[in-house]
Structure 1
Amino acid sequence: MKSLLKVSLAALTLAFAVSSHAADKKLVVATDTAFVPFEFKQGDKYVGFDVDLWDAIAKELKLDYTLKPIDFSGIIPALQTKNIDLALAGITITD
């Protein structure tokens, strides 16, 4: 339950942080599609808890986005280099 709360809070924080910046552009949202049941590809569609949560947040904030599958090890570097706008993955703080 703690992890679910952390993921939800992180998603909301990121959504508000990018909402004003991205009001007129399509956000690029990276996700690691090998993290079942949170993010995975089913047929030609990305699904899972995190994907559903992000989709609900994006709809509420009227954000246009595209999901970009990236290997988990590349998500943080992609954020740091601003190649993506948002990370959607099971990311936790370990220290």
Structure 2
Amino acid sequence: MRINLEPIGIIKKAGKYSEILIYSEFEQIIKNLLSQSGKTSARKNLLVVHTNKNRDDGHQVQITKTKFINCMGNILKVNKIDASEDSVIDVRLDV
């Protein structure tokens, strides 16, 4: 079964890190994420749901656990994710 999901952003490689660009119409997600994590948000674990480039396994999406580094506007800087140009479907705190 295939499900059509609307992406909220995209993953970009940035040296030894990855950046998750959240589209402007979904910026409230970043605000909610930062408010949930509080002022000690640095180095928190995030779960990133994104499209799966390896479609050979039959899965449309992949969930990657990564460390949150910082946030500048609508860009989340995280530890390197093995994904580039993948569409982001959701970002959550790993609690």
The question of a shared fold, defined as TM-score above 0.5 by the shorter chain, is answered with no
Given the two structures, how large is their TM-score scaled by the length of structure 1? 0.30
Which is strand-richer, 1 or 2? 2
Given the two structures, how large is their TM-score scaled by the length of structure 2? 0.30
